[in-house]
């Protein structure tokens, strides 16, 4: 405001003021703006009027810096006496502004630094006296960035300056409803040197000062400073209070000594604890005192004769004397921090986290009047802060401070130890350990501009660092030079810190120099490790023994030169060298891996590669050449492609627009590929050739070729590629792939056999046609189109079935496939499938399966025909549900005959030197360990829920071991695939058991499915002779039933068999009958083979054929066959030529109509109701 008033007064006295009123504005406004503006400051004045009167006004004045306007004055008024200038006075009645808006503080221009020289205090001597009776701002607005909140207030002041004497009065207060006021009354006379100061500042609770200082509870604050006297003998009293209670008070004095020195002293004391957090009360106590006295000489020498600072936990005392050259003359300082009763005390430190200390001591002593040696020590006990605990730490030091004109020196030797170190960061704790020790020796000489550290030493558990350094001054760019050696006997301590499985031991030597300012360096690095481990198996095998690295490089104003880089690790050797410069680079490197098995036992062959780069990033060339011999990576298909010699070459041009592949080739015995491009263009013409597809897909010899265009752009690639070859391969891929998305089409044909490796153990064949699109993220949900299989064949050797003439269409959209198809079973019948399933796990499906007269057979056990409808609903890899109904047609179950010469299962066979192909073949066939699987219902596959009804109303024939029976019924499969729960049974309709021509009618027969789905058979036949009722029982799994004999009364089993066959006991049979008895036992045991009658039945196509002999020796023959699903007819002829036709009509389960007609005219008709209990 004062500068503005003087400028306005001067402007009104300019000769240009005599211009017309309409010219005042442009001329005087420009004059004021030019004289008030400066570097980083622009003044803009609007509405300047009254230049020719004693009352000048401004509508608005704005001051801006580089960031914009920071202060605005509205309605500025200057009311002054122009005639007073004639007497050498500037008399201003009023200098006011209606509103002063200070949005923020001005931006200080970069590079602005205070003058290094101090200047004595004095009021300016002006050519005129200045008397401003009233300075007023009706409204002052301070923006929130200044004090943290918006503030409004007003200002009233007066100012007088005349002949070196000055007086000022000021009252500044808030007007926004908050109590805050600053009152200043001060005066000073240059002639007498008399200074009077009376400053009072007060603010109510929760004010700005309390908030900015973060005072607990944000109390009210009052500060007063009152003093008077000359600058040679000035005394003032300072008082600070909060909430009306005095917190700190005492006198401050400034006096002039006899030798011209300025002496100062202060004795301040009070209870500052309420101004800090309550947690700091133990450190501060209820009295904090500061007693300081000293002097400053005109030469710049400063002496602090007395320094005493004391709180409850802190005691600091001592003296310091610093010469004008900045070098200490003497010091004696002692400090102690200790809590009461030896308890830790919380230190009042700024920043996040808290720091506790049990005890700390510092002592420093030096007196150049006695000698040049200094000594010091420091110790800590029980230090604890966030993330760190330290049991003890100590530093001892000594050295010399040499004062020789122009050649001052400073030297120090520091020894330090720590113990009980505990870090919250477990990785850092493991790396550093619980204790550290070391030594530092340093020396500096005036004028050298350097700090020498001839000895550096740090020791930890099994690791350490030693060396020496020298740090030059600013004139050399802070050049640091020296040699540092790092050693670690166990690198595993740094594993967690490095984030890898680190191990081994090592030593690194770094020698050279580097400038912190210019970035120049000249360094050499040597590193040697033993048993280095980084957690990557292939690399760890290389570095298992000694690994050695040497590097030498220099960086100067011409660029960076890599003199040499050599790395050796087992079978690996790497070398590199060259120069990198913005004007042009020339780099070359070579790597040799003599035996890839050093990386992985399944790998093999040798590899050599060389790379060069010349030019600049905007115009350069990168060349790569590599050769491999008999490469092998443990993948049979890939190893076939890499067999023999393989050569790789690539050239990349670097341009301002990026990198461009100009040529690349791969030349191997079985695989060749080439890409051609040009600098400045991303488009590549690519070709490739696989010499013989049968290397990967046996049975399909011939070459496979690839050709087309590939254009890498924007993190992706545009492509148009075509693949042709045997197995009907003719496919085209076109579109774009970028990042995680694509817009591609795939059209073409191929033989399904190409997928056999992925479909194993299934064997596929047939023509595939694909018309697909991938649009969107790289996920199956983005795949759409159609896949068609025509004339396909699917074989499943493990289950012994195959499908032929398979026609299948899969329509893909939205992550699902809608399938529809048919296939013929090789043994007869047709299978239909229709529905949909998701393409991603858990493969949620809704599929309908139609079974049309499927003929299923096991030559040793059964042959049947099945029809029906099944449905699969739910996740195929989870808990899907399999439901439906299956109707079983004519079925023949065979109780197998083992035969006397049947071979037992061989014991486990040990295969010697079997190849991968042999193992794969055994696995596909389910033979050996690879293919062995547990029987039953266990396993680790999906566990589907089951609800399948199996109906077999009749024509379920059970034959073998003398049995000839017909059964019928129904079974329901419930539970899950892992725990099948069958219910229901297949029961006897009619049947007999033939032993040595003895025909026994069956009284009971049933088939029950158990958990493993192997039918459990129960057959009972009986006969009564005299008083003996004899029975034979065949029971057990159909593939291994057991035979037992019983009787009433109870007899031995062989006796029962004799009664069954001959109607008499063992003692009454002949030797021939005994032989017949043994043959009957063999038949029942399954060693009798197939009888002649059964062979005739099969030959004539009958469902039943029987030859009988009555008790009187007459013979008869009967033959039966189903003429429809529920109609059974039987013809019987005896030896006299008499015949009879029997007809059975099954109306429903348990209800049968039977009729007969004989050649003798005898006939009959009946309805039979049957019920099992």
Residue 568: is its pLDDT beyond 90?
A: yes
pLDDT at 758: 75
pLDDT at 117: 38
* Phi/psi of residue 926, nearest 5 degrees: 70, 25
Q: Which residues contact 15 (CB under 8 A, 6 or more apart)?
A: none
Considering only residues 1027 and 269, tell me which one the structure prediction assigns the higher pLDDT.
269
- 588-626 pLDDT, tens digit per residue, is 999 999 888 888 888 888 999 999 999 998 889 999 999
- 1089-1110 pLDDT, tens digit per residue, is 454 455 556 655 666 766 555 5
pLDDT at 143: 85
Q: What are the CB-based long-range contacts (under 8 Å, 24+) for 152-159? A: 152/176, 153/180, 155/100, 158/132, 158/133, 158/134, 159/2, 159/130, 159/131, 159/132, 159/135
Of all helices (H) and strands (E), which one includes residue 25? helix 21-36
User: Where do the structural domains in the chain lie, given as residue ranges?
Assistant: 1-107+124-177, 178-256, 1091-1173
Q: Are 868 and 852 in contact (CB under 8 A)?
A: no
Say how far apart CA 1108 and CA 1132 lie, in whole Å: 10
Q: pLDDT confidence of 916, banded at 50, 70, 90?
A: low
Q: How large is the average pLDDT for residues 378-406?
A: 92
- 300-321 pLDDT, tens digit per residue, is 899 999 999 999 999 999 999 9
pLDDT at 27: 67
- 749-761 pLDDT, tens digit per residue, is 999 988 887 777 8
- Quick check: bond before 1047 cis, omega within 30? no
Q: pLDDT confidence of 636, banded at 50, 70, 90?
A: confident
Q: pLDDT confidence of 116, banded at 50, 70, 90?
A: very low
Considering only residues 1169 and 670, tell me which one the structure prediction assigns the higher pLDDT.
670
- 505-544 pLDDT, tens digit per residue, is 999 999 999 988 888 999 999 999 999 999 998 899 999 9
Q: Can you name the residues that pair with 683 across neighbouring β-strands?
A: none
Q: Which residues contact 625 (CB under 8 A, 6 or more apart)?
A: 609, 610, 611, 647, 648, 649
Q: pLDDT confidence of 144, banded at 50, 70, 90?
A: confident
pLDDT at 900: 34
Residue 113: is its pLDDT beyond 50?
A: no
- 177-220 pLDDT, tens digit per residue, is 888 888 889 898 888 888 899 989 898 888 888 787 778 888 99
Q: Can you name the residues that pair with 511 across neighbouring β-strands?
A: 483, 524
Distance (Å) of CA 524 to CA 455, 634, 1148? 20, 40, 101
Tokens of 910: 């040990």
Q: How large is the average pLDDT for residues 698-720?
A: 88
The segment with the largest mean pLDDT, out of 39-43, 148-152, 831-835, is 831-835
Q: Are strands 1127-1134 and 1139-1148 parallel, antiparallel or unpaired?
A: antiparallel
Q: How large is the average pLDDT for residues 452-468?
A: 95
- 404-447 pLDDT, tens digit per residue, is 877 889 999 999 999 999 999 999 999 999 999 999 999 998 87
Other CB atoms within 10 Å distance of the CB of residue 221:
23
Considering only residues 1029 and 1149, tell me which one the structure prediction assigns the higher pLDDT.
1029
Q: What is the mean pLDDT of the chain?
A: 83
Q: Of 272-276, 786-790, 997-1001, 1080-1084, where does mean pLDDT reach its minimum?
A: 1080-1084
Q: Of 101-105, 743-747, 812-816, 1012-1016, where does mean pLDDT reach its minimum?
A: 1012-1016
Q: How large is the average pLDDT for residues 545-574?
A: 94
pLDDT at 338: 94
Residue 393: is its pLDDT beyond 90?
A: yes
The torsion angle over the Cα atoms of residues 290, 294, 295 and 300, rounded to 10 degrees, is: -90
Residue 817: is its pLDDT beyond 50?
A: yes
pLDDT at 2: 47
List, in sequence order, the alpha helices (H) in 907-988: 916-925, 928-931
Say how far apart CA 543 and CA 541 lie, in whole Å: 6
Residue whose pair of structure tokens reads 């890839």 in the numeric block: 596
Q: pLDDT confidence of 290, banded at 50, 70, 90?
A: very high
pLDDT at 464: 96
pLDDT at 184: 86
pLDDT at 430: 94
In the chain, the percentage of residues whose pLDDT exceeds 70 is 83
Q: Which residues contact 723 (CB under 8 A, 6 or more apart)?
A: 704, 705, 706, 729, 730, 731, 732, 733, 748
- 881-892 pLDDT, tens digit per residue, is 999 999 999 888
Q: pLDDT confidence of 835, banded at 50, 70, 90?
A: very high
DSSP letters of 167-217?
Answer: EEEEEEEE-SS--EEEEEEEEEETTT-EEEEEEEEEE-TT-HHHHHTT-TT
Residue 905: is its pLDDT beyond 50?
A: no
pLDDT at 936: 44
pLDDT at 1021: 84
In the chain, the percentage of residues whose pLDDT exceeds 90 is 38
Label residue 298 left, alpha or beta by phi (over 0 means left) and psi (-120 to 50 means alpha). alpha
Q: How large is the average pLDDT for residues 648-670?
A: 88
Angle between helices 2-11 and 21-36 (to 10 degrees): 140
Which candidate, 650, 608, 649, 607, places its Cα nearest to that of 632?
Answer: 607
Other CB atoms within 10 Å distance of the CB of residue 925:
13
Angle between helices 1053-1062 and 1071-1085 (to 10 degrees): 110
Which candidate, 253, 348, 248, places its Cα nearest to that of 292?
Answer: 253
Considering only residues 977 and 453, tell me which one the structure prediction assigns the higher pLDDT.
453
Q: How large is the average pLDDT for residues 769-779?
A: 92
Q: Can you name the residues that pair with 744 across neighbouring β-strands?
A: 735, 774
pLDDT at 1051: 79
Residue 1036: is its pLDDT beyond 90?
A: no
Q: Of 411-425, 712-726, 1053-1067, where does mean pLDDT reach its minimum?
A: 1053-1067
Q: Can you name the residues that pair with 844 across neighbouring β-strands?
A: 875
Residue 256: is its pLDDT beyond 80?
A: yes
Considering only residues 11 and 1011, tell me which one the structure prediction assigns the higher pLDDT.
1011
Residue 161: is its pLDDT beyond 60?
A: yes
pLDDT at 475: 66
Q: pLDDT confidence of 472, banded at 50, 70, 90?
A: confident
DSSP letters of 1005-1042?
Answer: EEEEE-TT--EEEEEEEEEEETTEEEEEEEEEETTS-E
Residue 160: is its pLDDT beyond 50?
A: yes
pLDDT at 690: 93
Q: pLDDT confidence of 1044, banded at 50, 70, 90?
A: confident
Distance (Å) of CA 889 to CA 515, 819, 932, 951, 956? 95, 29, 33, 9, 8
């Amino acid at each position: 405001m004062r500068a503005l008033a003087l400028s306005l007064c001067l402007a009104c006295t300019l000769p240009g003021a005599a211009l017309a009123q309409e010219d005042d504005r442009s001329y005087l406004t420009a004059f004021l703006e030019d004289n008030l503006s400066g570097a980083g400051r622009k003044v803009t004045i609007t509405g300047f009027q009254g230049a020719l009167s004693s009352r000048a006004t401004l509508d608005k004045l704005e001051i801006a810096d580089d960031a914009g306007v920071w202060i605005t004055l509205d309605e500025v008024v200057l009311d002054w006496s122009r005639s007073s200038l004639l007497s050498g006075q500037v008399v201003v009645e009023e200098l006011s502004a209606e509103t002063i808006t200070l949005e923020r503080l001005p931006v200080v221009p970069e590079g602005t630094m205070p003058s290094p020289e101090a200047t004595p205090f004095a009021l300016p001597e002006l050519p005129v006296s200045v008397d401003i009776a009233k300075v007023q701002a009706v409204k002052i607005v301070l923006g929130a960035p200044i004090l943290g909140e918006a503030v409004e207030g007003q200002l009233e002041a007066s100012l007088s300056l005349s002949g070196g004497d000055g007086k000022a009065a000021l009252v500044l207060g808030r007007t926004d409803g908050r109590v805050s006021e600053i009152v200043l009354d001060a005066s000073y006379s240059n002639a007498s040197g008399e200074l009077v100061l009376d400053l009072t500042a007060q603010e109510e609770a929760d004010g700005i000062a309390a908030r900015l200082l973060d005072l607990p509870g944000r109390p009210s604050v009052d500060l007063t400073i009152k003093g008077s006297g000359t600058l040679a003998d000035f005394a003032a009293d300072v008082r600070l209070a909060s909430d009306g209670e005095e917190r700190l008070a005492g006198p401050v004095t400034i006096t002039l000594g006899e030798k011209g020195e300025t002496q100062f002293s202060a004795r301040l004391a009070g209870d500052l604890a309420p101004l800090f957090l309550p947690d700091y009360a133990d450190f501060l106590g209820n009295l904090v005192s500061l007693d300081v006295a000293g002097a400053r000489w005109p030469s710049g020498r400063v002496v602090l004769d007395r320094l005493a600072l004391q709180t409850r936990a802190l005691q600091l005392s001592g003296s310091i004397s610093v010469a004008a050259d900045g070098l200490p003359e003497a010091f004696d300082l002692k400090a102690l921090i200790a809590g009461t009763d030896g308890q830790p005390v919380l230190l009042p430190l700024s920043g996040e986290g808290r720091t506790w200390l049990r005890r700390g001591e510092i002592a420093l002593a030096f007196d150049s009047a006695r000698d040049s040696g200094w000594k010091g020590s420091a110790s800590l006990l029980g230090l604890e802060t966030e993330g760190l605990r330290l049991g003890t730490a100590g530093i001892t030091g000594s050295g010399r401070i040499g004062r020789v004109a122009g050649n001052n020196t400073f030297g120090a030797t520091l020894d330090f130890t720590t113990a009980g170190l505990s870090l919250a960061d477990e990785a850092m704790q493991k790396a550093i350990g619980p204790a550290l020790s070391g030594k530092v020796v340093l020396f500096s000489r005036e004028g050298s501009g350097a700090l020498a550290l001839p000895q550096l030493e740090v020791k930890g558990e099994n690791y350490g660092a030693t060396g020496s350094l020298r740090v030059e001054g600013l004139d050399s760019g802070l050049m640091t030079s020296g040699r540092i050696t790092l050693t670690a006997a166990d690198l595993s301590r740094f594993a967690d810190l490095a984030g890898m499985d680190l191990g081994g031991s090592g030593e690194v030597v770094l020698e050279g120099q580097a400038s912190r300012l210019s970035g120049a360096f000249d360094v050499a690095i040597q590193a040697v490790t033993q048993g280095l481990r980084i957690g990557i198996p292939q690399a760890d095998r290389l570095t298992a023994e000694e690994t050695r690295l040497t590097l030498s490089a220099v960086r100067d104003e011409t660029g960076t030169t890599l003199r040499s880089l050599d790395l050796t690790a087992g079978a690996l050797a790497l070398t590199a060298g060259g120069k990198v410069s913005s004007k042009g680079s020339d780099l070359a490197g070579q790597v040799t891996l003599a035996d890839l098995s050093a990386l992985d036992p399944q790998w093999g062959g040798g590899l050599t590669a060389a790379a060069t780069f010349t030019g600049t990033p905007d115009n350069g060339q990168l060349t790569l050449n590599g050769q491999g011999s008999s490469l092998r990576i443990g993948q049979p298909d890939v190893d076939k492609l890499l067999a023999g010699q393989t050569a790789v070459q690539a050239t990349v041009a670097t341009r301002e627009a990026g990198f461009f592949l100009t040529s690349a080739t791969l030349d191997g015995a079985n695989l060749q590929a080439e890409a051609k491009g040009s600098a400045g263009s991303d488009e590549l013409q690519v070709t490739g050739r696989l010499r013989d597809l049968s290397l990967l897909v046996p049975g399909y010899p011939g070459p496979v070729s690839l050709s087309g265009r590939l254009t890498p752009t924007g993190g992706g690639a545009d492509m148009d590629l075509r693949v042709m070859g045997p197995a009907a391969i003719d496919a085209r891929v076109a579109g774009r792939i970028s990042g995680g998305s694509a817009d591609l089409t795939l059209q073409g044909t191929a033989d399904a056999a190409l997928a056999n490796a992925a479909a194993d153990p299934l064997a596929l064949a047939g023509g595939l046609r694909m018309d697909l699109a991938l649009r969107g993220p790289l996920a199956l949900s983005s795949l759409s189109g159609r896949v068609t299989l025509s004339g396909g064949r699917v074989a499943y050797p493990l289950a012994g079935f195959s499908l032929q003439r398979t026609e299948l269409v899969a329509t893909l959209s939205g992550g699902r496939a809608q399938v529809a198809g048919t296939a013929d079973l090789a043994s007869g019948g047709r299978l239909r499938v229709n529905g949909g399933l998701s393409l991603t796990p858990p493969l949620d499906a809704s599929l309908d399966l139609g079974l049309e007269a499927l003929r299923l057979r096991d030559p040793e056990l059964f042959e049947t025909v099945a029809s029906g409808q099944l449905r699969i609903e739910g996740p195929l890899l989870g808990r899907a549900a399999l439901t439906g109904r299956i109707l079983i047609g004519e079925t023949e179950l065979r109780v197998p005959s083992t035969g006397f010469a049947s071979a037992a299962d061989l014991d486990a066979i040990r295969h010697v030197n079997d190849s991968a192909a042999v193992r794969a073949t055994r696995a596909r066939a389910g033979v050996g360990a690879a293919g062995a699987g547990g029987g039953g219902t266990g396993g680790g596959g999906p566990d589907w829920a089951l609800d399948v009804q199996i109906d077999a109303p009749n024509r379920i024939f059970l034959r073998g071991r003398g049995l000839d029976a017909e059964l019928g019924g129904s079974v329901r499969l419930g539970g899950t695939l892992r725990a099948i729960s069958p219910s229901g049974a297949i029961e006897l309709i009619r049947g007999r058991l033939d032993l040595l021509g003895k025909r026994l009618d069956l009284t009971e027969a049933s088939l029950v499915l158990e958990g493993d789905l192997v039918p459990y058979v129960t057959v009972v036949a009986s006969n009564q002779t005299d008083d003996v009722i004899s029975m034979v029982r065949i029971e057990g799994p159909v593939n291994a039933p057991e035979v037992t004999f019983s009787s009433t009364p109870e007899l031995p089993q062989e006796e029962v068999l004799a009664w069954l066959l001959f109607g008499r006991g063992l003692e009454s049979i002949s030797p021939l009958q005994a032989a017949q008895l043994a043959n009957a036992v063999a038949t029942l045991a399954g060693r009798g083979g197939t009888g002649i009658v059964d062979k005739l039945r099969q030959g004539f196509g009958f469902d039943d054929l029987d030859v009988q002999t009555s008790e009187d020796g007459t013979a008869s023959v009967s033959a039966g066959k189903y003429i429809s699903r529920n109609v059974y007819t039987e013809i019987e002829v005896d030896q006299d030529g008499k015949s009879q036709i029997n007809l059975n009509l099954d109306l429903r389960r348990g209800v049968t109509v039977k009729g007969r007609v004989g050649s003798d005219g005898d006939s009959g008709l009946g309805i039979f109701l049957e019920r099992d209990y």
